[in-house]
Every structure is written in structure tokens, then in C-alpha cells.
Structure 1
Amino acid sequence: MSEQTRTTAPAVASTTHEAPRIVTRTGPGKFFADTGAVFTREILLVLRDPFTLIFSLLQPLIFLGLFGPLLTGTFGGGFGGPGGEGLTTGETLQWFVPGVIVMISLFGTSMTGSNLLYEIMTGSYERVLATPLDRSAILVGRALKEFAPLLVQGLLIAVVCIPFGFTFHVVPALVGLVLLGIFGIGVGAFSHALALAAKNREWLFWGVQQSLLFPLLILSGMMLPLEAGPSWMQTAAKFNPLTYMVDAERVLFAGTFDDPAVLWGVVAAAATCAVGVAVGIRSTRRTV
């Protein structure tokens, strides 16, 4: 028996080995890696159906084609330069195009929760929560997925308007789009939190989303100048963070950095992003 033990012991020893160490990222490295994983998963779904991106370009082009001439006539009627002279089509587009880009980005990021509602109904969202993904990375990755196509759309719209007199300042415009992306992360996080609060009641999500979306758009001066509105609208616009985003985008798309509107836009974007992500993370943890 002792001889058999001596002959088998080396074989047992040769098959034993140390368990592999699992290296996990922590801190900022984990956040960026998880955000990239969520973004890749979400954007692949969009790339598999590119016709949705093409179709989504119709709405801003309709606004430019139908609303733009109306604005040109309005500006020509007295909202033009210091002497009341009218503006050209190119000058009108310089004012209107940044507002349209903000509008389509707001539409996209505010509907982040609609995709989440579908995943909740199908049960796939629970499987995502079961993974070791960072909760804030889930929010940011989803919001970036909504904003990335809008970034391409914004650039295409600006390029399309160049033959009609629109001046495209590349570097300031890209800075404006990055700033808009930060703001969109916060809006997407708010939409995410709203979807979690609504859960299986889609009507509640859409009711709240639509009730908030259009007043914010109108009170930001995105479509029409607020200078022509009553004093109470101008006062309400000062409490609308979207107002500062629209003003900053118009200044940046005009090729200017050294304007106080840019600084106020940075503050509005950072505050919206910080508060939105905090609210979204809190809502996500409550569902676990």
C-alpha cells in the first residue's frame, strides 16, 4: 500500500495548480470600460438598422425647410439688426441651425427611457443589472448611444445648410457638440429615472416627458426669439437650463469662444449632467 502511495503521489502533485487570479478594474478605469461596453452594445443595435438614422433626419430638415423661411420673414419684419433691417437667409440660418441641433439632441436623449421601458417588459434589463457593470456607466452609456447618431445628424445638417449661406466654424462647432453631449447625458439620465418610476405604465412616461419637453423648448428661445414675448416668458426662460445651452450653441456656431454665454452654457451642461446622473443612479439602486 505504501508503494502504491509513493507511485501515485507525484501524479497527483503534477495535476494540482494554482487557481487563476481574476483581475477586476476599479475606479475611473472600471467606469470608462463599463461605459464603453454599454455604449458598444447599444450602438450595435442602431447600426444594424441604419434606416432609422436616415428617417430621423427628415424632421430637422422639415423644420429647416418650412420654419426657416417663416423666420426670415419675421426677422425681416423688425427682428433684424440694430436699425430694424431684415436679415438674409444665411444670417437667419446662423441663428436657427444651432437651435435645431439642440432640439434633435433633446428629443433623442429625452427618449432614452422609452428603450428602457421595452427592456423592462421583456426582462432584459434585469439581466443587465445582474452583471457587475457600474450603475453610472449604464446611464452614461445609454445616453451616449442616443447622442452619437445625433452628433452625426447635427454635422450633416450644418453641411447641408452651407450652400444656403450658413457659415460652419468647425472647431467651435465641435466644442459646442461636445458641450451638448454633456448636457444630453444628464437629460438621458433623467429620462432613465422617469422610466424606472413609470415601469409598466408607458402612458405615465410619455405624459410627463411630453408635458415637460415642449415648454422647455419654447421657453429656451430655440424656435422663436424670446425678445418678442411677454416679460413673464423672459423671466421663466432664465430658470430654464436649456436657454443657456441654446445661447451657448449659437455663440459657438458663430465661431466665438470669448462670450459669457459659453461659460453659462458650460455651467448649465455640467449641472444638468451631475444632477441627472445622481438622480438616475439613485433610481437604479432602488430597483435592485
Structure 2
Amino acid sequence: NSSIAQIDNDILTLTPVESKITYTLSNNNQTLNVKVSLPKNINGKINLKLNGMTINNSKVVNGSYTYKYDIPTQLSKANYTLNVIIQTNDGKVLRKNVTVTIPKRDVTSTITIRNSTPIEAGSTIEVIATIKMGKNNVDHGYVTFKINNQTFASKVKVVNGKATATYNLAPTLKLKDYEISIVYSGDENKNSNRNSTTLSVKKHHVHVDFDSLELFADSDNPIRIYFYDSNNNYIPYGQAGYKINGKTINSTLQIDGGVVIVNIKTPRIKDGETLKQTMTLKVGENNNHYAMSKDIELIIS
């Protein structure tokens, strides 16, 4: 009769047959393939653990067992211990620890820039780095974020394939293209990765925060008008002008700290009547702002 000995040095000695427990890696070293080859008269239960964590409970049938395990991306070490425990139907226990070596593997990265307003000086942007291994999200490591090689966020943890950082563009930032780059740290079984994309800072769009004005008839009406950019900050300078019912009243107003003062002289009207006119506000284009033109309804009573 054959006797069952404990597995030793990858070989289970069953007189007179040698049997093995082996593993291979496939799918670009992302899948662990475990194979048990025992004499055909051995049947029982098998438990697989990786560093003490159960990854499979199954059966050995006619001495054979295979299992494919997709290696989680959060595993970051080069070496892990595969614990194999086989309980045969006749009450024997076979144990074997196998060292699994995971080689360095490549990851891929993409960069997404997200913003709620046009990307202008003074805007806040969100930069998202997506890190994948094949089709799987990487769940370990850190990302460093840079603009024109200057770090603005470091050691941002990768969770479910993503690391996110925010960046406030300075109000004085020049209008040009900037390089947004990321560096993924890698770990003992993942290679580091670098990527970059272009951030284009555009001119500001100008707006005012009202659509109509109510004015007294037959009077001078000094009006303070504020001009804002897309981030609702005052535009610091520029040239403005206005028309009333198509007639130019002033075209050389200088915006200072976001404001100009216009004086609207209204006509006399009959008691109880209301007169409506249209004031067209204009801002000229310059190096930092696009031109603006907006019609404002004047309600005179």
C-alpha cells in the first residue's frame, strides 16, 4: 500500500510516485495559475491561502486540481506565500508553502482635467489621474501632480484606480499653454509611470450681473456698473462704452478695479407713463479679456 508523506520541497512523495504543487503566471503576470498533480487515487478538500488569506476552497478529484486567481492590484510586494492545505478523504493532511514571486508589471495612466468654468487665470481645476493594469484599476501607490514641472500635490493615494488633486490658477497667470504632468510611484511589483497633458489658459469672458435698470424721468442718473470675469471676480482693467437706443454716449470709459460710472440723463415723460429704452454696454477685447456686448433695458418712470 502507498503511504502519504507531508509535502516537502515542492514534492509530495507517495511511494513510489512523485507528485507536485506548482504555479505559473499568465495574462501579463496578472493571473496566478495553481496546479496540483497527485496520484489518481487521492481525493479530498483543498484550501488555498495567499499570505494567510483564503483565496479558494475546493476539491481535489482523482489527484487533480487547478485554479486561476486574478492577483488584486492592491498587492504591492514582490513575494507572497501560497499556503496549500489538502485534507484527503482518508483523513490525511498535506501541507505545502510555496513562494510566489510577482515580477514588476507595467501600468498605464490617463489624465483628465475637470473644471466648472472656462479655464482662465483665477480658475480652480481638478486633475484626475487614472491608473490601470490592463483593464483593472490599480488600488495601490501614490501620484505626484505637477504644472510646468512644479509640484502642486504629492503622495496622493491611488484608490480604485484614481488619484485626484485640485489646483488654483493664479489670477496673474499668463495666457499660454502649460504642462500638467503626473508621476505614479509604482511598488515592488508595479513599474512607475509618467504622463502629461496640455492645459490651455484662455482669455476671460466678461459679464455684468443685471439685465435692467429702473430710472427716474427727467433727471441725471449716475450708475455704478461692475464687470466680472467667469469666476465672478472683478476684471482689473479695460475700456468700456455704452449706447442708448443705438446712439453712442461714451466709448472711452476706463474700467478701474472692475467698475465704471455712467451718467444716464433721462427725458421728461407724462405723469403716470413709463418709457423703455435700451442701453448697450460694451467692453473692448484686450490681452486678458474677450470683448463683451450686452443690452440692458432701461425702465423710466
TM range (shorter): under 0.3
More helix by proportion, 1 or 2?
1
Q: Which structure has the greater CA radius of gyration? A: 2
Higher RCO (C-alpha under 8 Å, 6+ residues apart): 1
TM-score (norm 1): 0.19
More strand by proportion, 1 or 2?
2
TM-score (norm 2): 0.19
